[in-house]
Amino acid sequence: MEMDFILWLLCFFAVVSLLGVLVYQLMCLSDLEFDYSNPFDSSVNINSCIVPEFFIHGTLGCTYLLTGHWWLFILNVPLAYYHTSLYLRKQHLLDVTEIFSHLGREKKYRLVKLAFYLLLFVIVIFKSQLWHSAYLRLLVATFHLVLEHEDAAQTARTFTAIHADM
């Protein structure tokens, strides 16, 4: 049971870090598109994130393979293959001189990866044992209690306001 929790925690933080890196890259591309930063700074910032992103995604895929989560591993294989082929052809880094001509393509590529990582995030959350545990039920009960308390407070304020008008 502890190993499942540690595996879930590792996968959760890996996917969250992948999402963070990808959102940062999209922000850099948007800054470049709206002329808030120059091409050199944007390409340096994005290029510094690409290899760690590839490494984290590869490690996540290997973790799925080694722990026997086959369908998650198979889900990650196409993107891992694409990352590997880009890296081997040395086309993974952005070129400063051609960044404006490839800006639309790079944003679409990263938006597709963002959708994939969000799907992976949802799968990791729902796959976890924590989702079915008593902790989650406690969290949901607390959430409902807070909402009921706010509803009761709103009702009391409304009732007081109605009585004040009479």
**pLDDT over threshold 90, residue 99:** no
Q: What is the pTM of this model?
A: 0.75
Residues 139 and 162 in one domain: yes
Domain that holds residue 145: 133-166
**pLDDT tens digit string along 119-129?**
998 888 877 65
**pLDDT tens digit string along 30-80?**
999 888 889 999 999 999 999 999 999 999 999 999 988 899 999 999 999
Q: Which residue has better confidence, 73 or 164? A: 73
Q: Are the C-beta atoms of 29 and 50 separated by less than 8 Å?
A: no
Residues 143 and 124 in one domain: no
Residues 155 and 101 in one domain: no
Residues 54 and 15 in one domain: yes
pLDDT value of position 40: 92
Residues 34 and 96 in one domain: yes
Q: Are the C-beta atoms of 120 and 64 separated by less than 8 Å?
A: no
Number of domains in the chain: 2
Provide the 8-state DSSP code for 91: -
